[in-house]
Each structure stands twice: as structure tokens, then as C-alpha cells.
């Protein structure tokens, strides 16, 4: 059988007396598109942080392609092949699109602390340019990030997360704050990601999450309550209770 890209077994995360995530068990197959849904406070971002190492689990086990990463630090998980974005933008507003992407590429290399300017034909700069093209930002390479639209900033964040050629890409509410006009472009970008890349996303917007996903996991109060294909999620009575009445 294929080894899961991500395997969680009874994963929990406690903050003092607060049990933010409780006994989460799930497998994400290589190349799968997994959406994680749930109301505010459901534990979605805490679960993301447990997988990425920002807040390691206080119980349970996390495996990445069969390797136990439960106690690894975030940078070690990044080097193994986990890339992610955050709800809050971490872009460098005073730098250009090209420079932000170059910093992301350079940050994963042994010479990342060098103060030397990249030479003509620098491999890292070429990769930054290729990432901009992939994110449909080539026409904005020399634009300062502070001047980008919200949708363009989200595209850039995804491009920076791809800088390390991750095997698993984790997106934390990529559609948050996007205008209705920007959302179809984001969905197109997600659908164009190669199937060699495993995608896990947290999303409130079902119009983004369901078309982008193969499997949907719904959380409430730190626990998984439903796991099903997208075409069964909206009609599921538990999901309807959570989102439409009395489930918060």
C-alpha cells in the first residue's frame, strides 16, 4: 500500500487547560487535495501548526511519508518538504515581487546569509522569475509588494511557499479577504498545481474548498466530525448543523 504523505494518529494539542485539538486521526494520500473546514475555534489552524511544527503536538504521532516528525522543529519539517502559508501575510512590503520570491528561494540554501548581490544568471533569481510566471505575476516582477492587490498578494504567498519545492503544500485560508473577482483566479491556480504535490488547505469559503478538494475533513471543537468527498459535504446533516444552525 502507498505510504500516506501525512499520517496523524491521535494527535492532540493542549494550551494549559485548553484542549485545542483532540485525538485527530487521518491519512492524506500523496497527490491528494484535502480541505479542512469548520467554524472559528474548531482547531483547524492549531492542527496545521501541529503538522508544521509551529506548535508541536502534545499527544499523538505525526508522520511525513513514513517518517515520524512529531518532535521535529519547523525548519526541519520545511527541509523535508512541507511548505505553508499563513492567515496573516508575511510578505516584505518594501521589496518587489521578484525580491520576495528570491528571498524565499535563497532562504532554503546554505548561503542564505550571504550579503553578496546575485550575479547575472543566478540560479535563485531564475527560479524566482519562474515562480512569478507560475503564479501569473510576471508582469509585476518589479512592483513593490505594498502596491499589490489582495489577490495578487495571496498569489505571491503561494509562490513563496513553493520556493522550496515542497512535497506537501499547506494553505491557511488562501481565499480570506479576496474579492469575488479574485476567487476564480485563485481556484484556477490551485487546480493547476501538479498532482506530484499534495495539497492541504483550510478554508471557510466552500466555493473554493469544495471544487479544489478530493476529500473534505470537517472539524468542530478540536475534533474531526465528518470526512467525506465534496459532493456529500453540503448535504451532510452534521455539516448543516454546524454551519446553518446550532452547531457553533
Give a three-class secondary structure readout of 81-122: CEEECCCCCCCCCCCEHHHHHHHHHHCCCCCCCCCCCCCCCC
Domain with CATH 3.40.50.300 in the chain: 1-81+166-248
Instruction: State the Cα–Cα distance between residues 7 and 9, nearest whole angstrom.
Output: 7
3-state secondary structure of 24: strand
- Calculate mean pLDDT across residues 129-153: 94
User: 224 or 41: whose pLDDT is higher?
Assistant: 224
For 21-66, the pLDDT digits (tens) are 999 999 999 999 999 999 888 999 999 999 999 999 999 999 999 9
3-state secondary structure of 36: strand
User: 72 or 112: whose pLDDT is higher?
Assistant: 72
User: 38 or 115: whose pLDDT is higher?
Assistant: 38
| Residue-level pLDDT at 197 | 97
Per-residue pLDDT band for 204 (boundaries 50, 70, 90) equals confident
* pLDDT above 80 for 111: no
* pLDDT above 70 coverage of the chain, percent: 92
With 0-12 CB in 10 A as exposed, 13-18 as middle and 19+ as buried, what is 18? exposed
Look up the CATH number of domain 1-81+166-248: 3.40.50.300
3-state secondary structure of 214: coil
Amino acid at each position: 500500500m502507498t505510504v500516506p504523505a501525512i499520517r496523524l494518529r491521535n494527535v492532540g494539542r493542549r494550551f494549559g487547560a485548553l484542549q485545542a485539538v483532540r485525538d485527530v486521526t487521518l491519512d492524506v494520500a500523496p497527490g491528494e487535495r484535502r480541505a479542512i473546514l469548520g467554524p472559528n475555534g474548531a482547531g483547524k489552524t492549531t492542527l496545521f501548526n501541529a503538522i508544521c511544527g509551529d506548535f508541536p503536538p502534545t499527544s499523538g504521532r505525526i508522520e511525513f511519508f513514513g517518517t515520524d516528525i512529531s518532535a521535529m522543529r519547523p525548519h526541519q519539517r520545511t527541509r523535508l518538504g512541507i511548505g505553508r502559508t499563513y492567515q496573516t501575510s508575511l510578505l516584505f512590503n518594501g521589496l518587489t515581487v521578484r525580491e520576495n520570491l528570491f528571498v524565499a528561494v535563497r532562504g532554503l540554501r546554505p548561503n542564505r546569509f550571504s550579503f553578496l548581490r546575485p550575479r547575472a544568471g543566478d540560479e535563485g533569481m531564475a527560479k524566482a522569475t519562474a515562480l512569478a510566471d507560475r503564479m501569473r505575476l510576471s508582469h509585476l516582477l518589479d512592483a513593490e509588494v505594498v502596491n499589490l492587490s489582495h489577490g495578487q498578494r495571496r498569489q505571491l504567498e503561494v509562490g513563496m511557499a513553493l520556493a522550496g519545492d515542497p512535497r506537501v503544500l499547506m494553505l491557511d485560508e488562501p481565499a480570506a479577504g479576496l474579492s469575488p473577482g479574485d476567487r476564480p483566479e485563485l481556484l484556477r491556480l490551485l487546480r493547476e498545481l501538479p498532482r506530484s504535490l499534495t495539497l492541504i488547505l483550510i478554508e471557510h469559503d466552500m466555493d473554493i474548498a469544495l471544487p479544489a478538494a478530493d476529500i473534505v475533513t470537517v472539524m468542530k471543537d478540536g475534533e474531526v466530525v465528518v470526512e467525506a468527498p465534496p459532493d456529500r459535504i453540503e448535504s451532510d446533516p452534521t455539516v448543516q448543523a454546524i454551519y446553518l444552525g446550532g452547531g457553533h
